[in-house]
Structure formats: C-alpha cells, structure tokens
Structure 1
Amino acid sequence: MDDHTDLFSIGQLARRTGLPVRTIRFWSDEGLLPPTARSTGGYRLYDAAAVARLELLRSLREMGIGLDDVRRILDRQTSVREVARAHVRALDAEIRTLRVRRAVLRSLTRRGVTTEEWRIMSDLARLSAQERQRIIDDFVTEVFAGLDDGPGTGIAQAMRAMPAELPDEPTDEEVDAWLELAELVADPDFRRRAREMAVAGSAGEDAPPPEPMLSIESARSALAAGIAPDSERAREVLDAMVDPALSRAERRRLADGMAVFTDRRVERYWQLIGVLNRQPPFPPAVPAVEWLIAALRADR
C-alpha cells in the first residue's frame, strides 16, 4: 500500500468485511464506493469513511434494496427512512403474491385439476394484485364503454369497487371461485351478454339489482315443486304474482323486459365475488325468474 498506512486495498476490505473481492470491485465500478486514492501501481485505496460506506451499502443490499435506491441514499438524495417505507410496501406486495402462489399450490395438491386449469391458475398466480384487478377493470371498461348513466349502468361502479382478489389464507372454495371468475370475465359470450344488459340499462329500461333480483318466492316455490310453467297450476301462481287482467301481449312484453336482465352467468359473477369477499351467500334467483318468464310467455 506504499506509505498510505490509513488506507485499505480491495483485498484488505474483503478480509475486513467478509465480502467477496468481486462484489466490492463491482460496487466500486458502479460508483457506489468511489476510491479515496490510488496506489503508485494504480490500485484503488479506501479510507475509514469508505469502510463505513461499504458497511451501509452491504446492509442496504442485504435488505433487498435495489442499487438505484442505494445510490440515492449514499448520495443523500433521499433518506434511509423514505426508502425503507417504499421497500416495506414493495415487500408487502411480494408477500401477498407469494401467499397467492402458495394458496394455488396447496389447492393443487389437495385435488386433481386439468392441464388447462393448471395453466390458468399458474398464469394468474404469477400476476400482481394490480394486474389481476386490471382483468376486472378491463372487462368493466369493455362492457360499459361509451354508455351514458342510466338505471342499469350503476352496476359498472359496483363491479369496479368490489375487490376480486384472493383473501389471505384462502380456502379451496375461494381458489376455485377466483379461477372461475377469471375464466368468466374472459369469455367473449359473457362479455357480449353483459354488454347487452348494460346497453338496455343505459337506455332507461328497468334493471334488477345484482343481488337476488326480485321478491319471487312464489315462483321459487313453484319451481321447487316441479310445477310446469305452462300448466294450469302455474296460472294460479302467476295470477298471484301479476295482475290477472294483463293481456297475453302485455304478459309477453313483461316477460321480454325481465329476460333482458336475467342471465345465470351474471348472477354467478356476483356469487363468485361474494365468495372472494367472504360475504354471506344468497340463493340463486335467476332460475325462479326464468320460470316466471316462461309462465308469462306460456300459451294456455
């Protein structure tokens, strides 16, 4: 080291800190650890301040902080506290992603899945939470694009606002719901049908709410009892639900209006969202509405 007794070579730094020579040399080449001086032979030399800088650099890297952030800290363009806060947020997101992947793998070990299900689940697990939410956002944007506000378009805000993410420590049922939801919103036919409902709602037609659509217990009971919608018994049920004085044409118009907003897949969408958000399940309403529609249209 010539006469620079208070300076250290890279080799001496390596022995002092336990870091590999190549790591110290790389950080020095990157400008993160500039040499204090050069020996007569052109070798880099470092003083005690550089040693302290090296220890801080190592600590930051061991915490997983990237080189760009390390550089900003060392150059005092930002504080360790600010970078730590950002790093905590990044770690939280990473932990969340790892939990999702663990949940998917656990679910796969407990049951058999097809190759296609495995591919879809693996693809979804690799996405970030923001990317998974973007799948729902893109679906909502496509379905409701260019529509004015109307009785039916409030469903768009509800779809965006309701998280479609796996809970922490999800059950197999929640993993299944998550997979089914991703497949559902990617289905072009489902998107087309949802678009039809949105257009009708924007035009001012009355849309049922997304939860149980109507108070249709009579129709539900008739369906459970196996009463055919075109039977005389169905007429008795129907007369208790709608004005018996309605003409055949009026009943058909009522049925057609109800059919616009009746779709099992749309109801399934809300059931899946409910599973993921751990909401109490609601009994399907669409089958009973379908029975009512068929009863209204029946010729007797």
Structure 2
Amino acid sequence: MFTSHDGLCSIGELAERAGVTVKAVRFYSDRGLLPEASRSAGGHRRYGPEALGRLRLVRSLRALGLPVREVHRIVDEEEDGADSVLEDAVAGQLRELGSQLQALRWREAALRLVQECPPEDRADRLRLIGAVTAPPSTAPLARFWRAWLPPRMPTRATAAFLEAAVPEPPADPRPAQVLAFARLNALVTRPCTGAERPQPAAHRGAGARESAVLYAGLAQAYELAGTQLRRGRAPRAGEELDSFVDAYARTNGSRDTADFRRVLVGQLSVDPRIDTYWELVAEVITPSGGPPEPTPGSAHDWLFTALEAQTTGAA
C-alpha cells in the first residue's frame, strides 16, 4: 500500500519501488500496459496499489524477450485468472530462440570454415556459403528431387522419399558439414537441362500407383542394406537384395527370376549417377568422428554391387 493520503503514488515512486526508470514506466503506460488510476491537478500520473505487481510482471516478461503485444495479452489474461496465453507465448519465444541459436551456430561454423581454409580457397568458400541462409533452407534440395521423381507420383510417397533424400541441417554443425551443405545447395541449383537429369531407365513407364509401390519397396530395401553397411558387411545376396529386386519386379508386373535380374542389372548400370550428392549427404548427417551414415545412395550402390556380382556369377 502506498503511503499517500489517497492510496496512490506518483510515477517516480512507482518506478523506484519496481526498480525501473521513470522513462520505462511512462513507456508502458503510453502503450496501455500500465493503466493510470488518475491524474493530479498538475496533470501528473497517479497509480494505484495494483500497478506495482503489474509493472513487475511486465518487466519480467519483457526481460524474457517477449514483444509488447504479447505482454499486453498476458497481463490482461492474468487479471482473468488464466495462463494459456503465457504458455503459448513462452513456447513461441522458445521456438524463435532455438532458431536464432541454430543460425548463430551455423554462422560460427561458417566463419571457422573461412578462417581455417587455405587463403587460395577462401574466395570459393565465401561464394558457396554466401549462397545459403543460416540456418540453411532445404527447399532447393526438395525442388531438385521433385523434378527428378516420376511425374504424378502420390503425395505420400513423394513425402516419404524426400524425408530420406533431403538431409536436415545439423543444429550444431562442424565447419565440414557447413561446407558439405553449401556444396549440396550449389549442386542442386546449378543450371541444367532436362537431358542432364533423366529419369532412370528402370523407373520409366511407371504410373502413379506403380511409382508408389516402387519407392516404398526401395525404401524397405535401403533400410535393410543400411543395417549391413553400419556393420561393415560387404555386398552379398540375401534378404536385402531380394527386397530390392522385388520392388522392381512388382512395379513391372514381373516375377523375380534369374532372367529378370540380368535385365535389371543392365538397366541399373546405365542409370544416371549422382554419387556426389549422396557423398555430401553422408558428410552432413554423419556425427563427428563416426563412420559414414548410410544414405539411399550408398544403400543403392551396395545392393547394385550385390546384384551385379550375383548375375555375373550365375552367367
């Protein structure tokens, strides 16, 4: 309770009790965060006892970085005895702060990349990292694959493939990961003609339904092969290869026979190669000091090598 005869206090007394400046009190008052109880005969602001608690709440919320509009909603709701607006505002601020921290980590890693590279490489490094945001967007990579995938492929099947093929930028990257992602961005955004990005021969002619079947089957085969890659196993015939061949056989309405496998290995051997993409993806997703993480590309190569060895041996 204030000690004045009317139970009110001046702007200076309120500021002193709350530990803020008079300028801050005036700022909050002018924006409706701190209503005045009255004005003195000389036009000076007067505040009631409830103003001190409200001012302290406003100061705390602002110290957390919440914008004035959010603070206004929170203090108004506080008077109604609810706190859902506060919970939503805090959650939103945490998301924004997380994004800012990730951007700072990417910038730090990018600066280290430039700092640590030989002087003759700095111009190229700056060009590469200058073409991506911090943290980088995966949209260019997704556009690349949407143009590569079979036309009219079902949305769900496309989304599943993109989830596997488009790496998420690490939250706390190493300089090498920043460079790898920047090179990925340069790879997928360089000008190219349709002839440079043809649909693989083994995928041509598949309709919307067949494409979904094919990519679902390949995803299963790649997952199985990925397990073998993590164990350091050499390519070999087995469940992984059978799943791989079966995906193509079902798409073509064929049976998995020795003749079909020979035809398939011939088709796959002339498919366009994008090994550089998958090598860069492995760099982006592999933890520091660990063995390379399997990718759809490395799993495909493992399976193709197993298929080629099997058909060559059978011949």
> TM-score, normalised on structure 2?
0.62
Q: Does 1:164 align with 2:167?
A: yes
Question: For the residues of structure 2 that align with 1:92 and 1:191, how far apart are their CA atoms?
Answer: 39
What is the percentage of aligned positions where both structures have the same residue? 27
The one of 111, 114, 118 equivalent to 2:117 is: 111
The one of 189, 192, 205 equivalent to 1:189 is: 192
Q: Could you say which residue in structure 2 is the equivalent of 1:228?
A: none
1:148–1:202: 8 Å Cα contact kept in structure 2?
Answer: no
| Aligned-residue CA RMSD (Å) | 4.1
Q: Does 1:201 align with 2:206?
A: no
Specify the SS of the correspondent of 2:33: coil
Q: Could you say which residue in structure 2 is the equivalent of 1:66?
A: 67
Q: Could you say which residue in structure 1 is the equivalent of 2:293?
A: 280
Q: Residues 24 and 178 from structure 1, CA distance in 2 versus in 1: closer, same or farther, beyond 3 angstroms?
A: same
| 1:59 Cα offset (Å) | 0.4
Deviates more, 1:51-60 or 1:117-126: 117-126
Partner letter of residue 99 of structure 2?
A: A
| 1:101 Cα offset (Å) | 1.6
Q: Does 1:136 align with 2:141?
A: yes
Q: Does 1:173 align with 2:162?
A: no
Q: Residues 44 and 24 from structure 1, CA distance in 2 versus in 1: closer, same or farther, beyond 3 angstroms?
A: same
Which ranges in structure 1 are unaligned for 5 or more consecutive residues? 218-241, 293-300
Question: For the residues of structure 2 that align with 1:48 and 1:199, how far apart are their CA atoms?
Answer: 79
Question: For the residues of structure 1 that align with 2:284 and 2:200, how far apart are their CA atoms?
Answer: 24
The one of 101, 109, 122 equivalent to 2:107 is: 101
1:177–1:276: 8 Å Cα contact kept in structure 2?
Answer: yes
Partner letter of residue 24 of structure 2?
A: T
The equivalences for 1:146-165 within 5 A come to 146-148=151-153, 157-165=160-168
Question: For the residues of structure 1 that align with 2:192 and 2:159, how far apart are their CA atoms?
Answer: 18
1:147–1:199: 8 Å Cα contact kept in structure 2?
Answer: no
Which ranges in structure 2 are unaligned for 5 or more consecutive residues? 226-233, 236-257, 287-291, 309-315
Question: For the residues of structure 1 that align with 2:5 and 2:148, how far apart are their CA atoms?
Answer: 73
| 1:123 Cα offset (Å) | 4.9
Q: Could you say which residue in structure 2 is the equivalent of 1:57?
A: 58
**Residues 170-224 of structure 1: per-residue CA shift (max 9 Å, x gap):** 3333222111111111123287633x22697252399996979xxx99xxxxxxx
1:136–1:185: 8 Å Cα contact kept in structure 2?
Answer: yes
Question: For the residues of structure 2 that align with 1:285 and 1:8, how far apart are their CA atoms?
Answer: 78
1:139–1:191: 8 Å Cα contact kept in structure 2?
Answer: no
- Say how many residue pairs are matched: 243
